């Protein structure tokens, strides 16, 4: 299944939920994809400066990894196509209007928005409003 491409349909189908854990972003210089698998990252990205890991605060602490800031993860719970146009712009724009940063990661089935933990409840409420656009 390739997912929805029509932005209006995607927005009407949004069912954002807040995941229970606190998440962090870490980097490990001289690491390669697959390193730190025992820390159970939910996402990683290889950059020339190092390996970026997205993982729960608990797993980062257990692995002794350094991080700055705690993030809530809002899963949009709509199967949008990886080729759909405009969803991340709408999400980022809505949150930016309220001075909330958004780090968006697209999975195959859903998009996930990482927002500062202090703004997580407000961000979730704002994203729920998008169903009415």
pLDDT at 66: 95
Degrees to nearest 5, angle at CA 39 with 55 and 114: 5
> What backbone phi and psi angles, to 5 degrees, belong to 17?
-130, 150
d(CA 31, CA 19): 28
Q: What does the domain layout of the chain look like in residue ranges?
A: 1-21+72-133, 23-69
- Which one, of 6, 4, 25, lies nearest residue 110 by Cα? 4
Q: pLDDT confidence of 22, banded at 50, 70, 90?
A: very high
Model confidence over 57-111: pLDDT tens digits?
Answer: 999 999 999 999 999 999 998 888 777 877 888 899 999 999 999 999 988 888 8
Tell me, what's the pLDDT at 83? Answer: 73
CATH class of 1-21+72-133: alpha beta
According to DSSP H, which parts of the chain are helical? Answer: 7-13, 57-63, 87-96, 120-129
Read off φ and ψ for residue 100, nearest 5 degrees.
Answer: -115, 120
Burial label, 10 (beta-carbon count in 10 A; 0-12, 13-18, 19+): buried
> 73 and 19 in contact (C-beta within 8 Å)?
yes
Percent of the chain whose predicted confidence (pLDDT) is above 70: 98
pLDDT value at 44 more than 90: yes
pLDDT of res. 6: 74
């Amino acid at each position: 299944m390739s997912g929805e491409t029509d932005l209006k349909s995607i927005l009407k189908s949004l069912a954002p939920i807040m995941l229970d854990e606190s998440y962090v972003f870490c980097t490990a210089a001289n690491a390669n994809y697959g390193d730190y698998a025992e820390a159970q990252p939910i996402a990683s990205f290889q950059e020339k400066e190092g390996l970026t890991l997205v993982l729960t605060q608990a797993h980062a602490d257990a692995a002794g990894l350094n991080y700055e800031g705690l993030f809530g993860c809002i899963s949009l719970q709509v199967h949008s196509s990886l080729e759909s146009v405009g969803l991340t712009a709408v999400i980022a724009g809505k949150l930016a209007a309220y001075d909330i940063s958004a780090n968006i990661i697209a999975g195959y089935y859903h998009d996930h928005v990482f927002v500062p933990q202090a703004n997580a409840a407000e961000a979730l409420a704002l994203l729920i409003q998008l169903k009415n656009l």
